[in-house]
């Protein structure tokens, strides 16, 4: 085989692979949205691929495949991404602007002294309070158990939150102290 034939054959095989090899795309929401956009609105899809539309969300909102986010949704998203310092600056700005008054320790103490369990089972309000604190601080149930002085491998809190199983009374008492201290920290931030 001559040198010219080898290069031609190599070029043909490369073209064949590029042209006929299927592209693997994992099943993600973004890929599903891209496919919906490509099938339903090919013109907008080509504008998005060419870069004339800045984001996939903007393209989907343009053709009404995804509703536009409200200002509250955008604010919640920004709040989740903000650092504690940025949250404190925002809260200070709100109170200085006179738009709202942040809750004081007195108004929050009634909620802090509320029972957290019915017998040995956590109340749904307690679970939601814990999830809010854990999300804000990036903690897992194992981190909470370790923070309360139990072993990090102790999965009883995780089971109590997920499967509504019972807890030892020592864990419930420690959890009540943990909730009070972390909710007080959230108010002072």
pLDDT tens per residue across span 39-72: 999 999 999 999 999 999 899 999 988 888 899 9
Higher pLDDT, 17 or 30: 30
Strands (E), the chain: 117-118, 121-122
User: What is the dihedral sign for C-alpha 29, 138, 55, 58?
Assistant: positive
Q: What confidence tens digit (pLDDT) does each residue in 75-92 have?
A: 988 988 888 888 888 888
Residues 6+ apart with CB under 8 A from 41: 63, 65
pTM above 0.85, yes or no: no
Backbone angles phi, psi at 122, to 5 degrees: -70, 140
User: Could you tell me the pLDDT band of residue 26, with boundaries at 50, 70 and 90?
Assistant: low
pLDDT band at 96 (very low <50, low <70, confident <90, very high): confident
Percent of the chain with pLDDT over 90: 34
Compute the mean pLDDT over every residue in the chain, rounded to the nearest whole number. 81
Could you tell me the residue ranges of all domains in the chain? 15-62, 105-188
Token digits for 5? 């034939």
Residue 119, Ramachandran bin (φ over 0: left; ψ between -120 and 50: alpha; else beta): left
């Amino acid at each position: 085989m001559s040198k010219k034939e080898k290069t031609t054959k190599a070029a043909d095989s490369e073209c064949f692979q590029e042209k006929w090899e299927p592209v693997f795309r994992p099943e993600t929401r973004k890929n599903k949205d891209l496919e919906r956009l490509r099938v339903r609105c090919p013109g907008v899809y080509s504008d998005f691929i060419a870069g004339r539309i800045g984001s996939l969300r903007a393209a989907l909102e343009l053709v009404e495949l995804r509703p536009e986010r409200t200002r509250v949704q955008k604010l919640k998203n920004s709040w989740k991404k903000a650092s504690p310092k940025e949250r404190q600056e925002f809260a200070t700005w709100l109170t200085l602007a006179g738009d709202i008054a942040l809750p004081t320790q007195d108004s929050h103490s009634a909620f802090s002294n509320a029972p957290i369990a019915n017998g040995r089972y956590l109340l749904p309000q307690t679970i939601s309070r814990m999830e809010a604190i854990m999300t804000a601080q990036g903690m897992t149930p194992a981190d909470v158990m370790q923070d309360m002085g139990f072993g990090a491998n102790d999965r009883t809190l995780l089971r109590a939150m997920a499967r509504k199983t019972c807890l030892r009374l020592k864990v419930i008492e420690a959890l009540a102290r943990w909730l009070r201290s972390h909710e007080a920290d959230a108010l002072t931030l």
